[in-house]
Amino acid sequence: MNEPTSVQYRGYELVCHARAVDGGRFAPTLVVSKQIWPTRPRAIDVPRGNYETLQTAIDAAHAKGVEWVQNYG
């Protein structure tokens, strides 16, 4: 399971993913897009952290996406 997870939240689409980094750890990635025009996808910086599994890194990206929408969306 190394596919991005797409979640809809308050009119935004959150695409949460993780990439492998050194030492068998994972770094979360996040792209946020409005579901209506203008969509303008934005890559949101998620702190790298120390995630041992793919799922925990994706969960961190999801939490950051929800926080971003609440603060800026």
| Strand boundaries in the chain, DSSP class E | 5-9, 12-21, 25-34, 42-44
Q: Three-state SS for 9?
A: strand
Model-level pTM?
0.91
Structural domains present in the chain = 5-72 (3.30.160)
State the average pLDDT over residues 44-67. Answer: 94
Report the residue count for the chain. 73
Kindly report the CA angle at 68 between 66 and 73, in degrees rounded to 5? 100
57 and 27 Cβ atoms separated by less than 8 Å: yes
Counts of helices then strands in the chain (DSSP H, E) = 1, 4
Q: Given pLDDT bands bounded at 50, 70 and 90, which one contains residue 1?
A: low
pLDDT for residue 29 is more than 90: yes
Q: Which structure tokens are listed for 72?
A: 């800026």
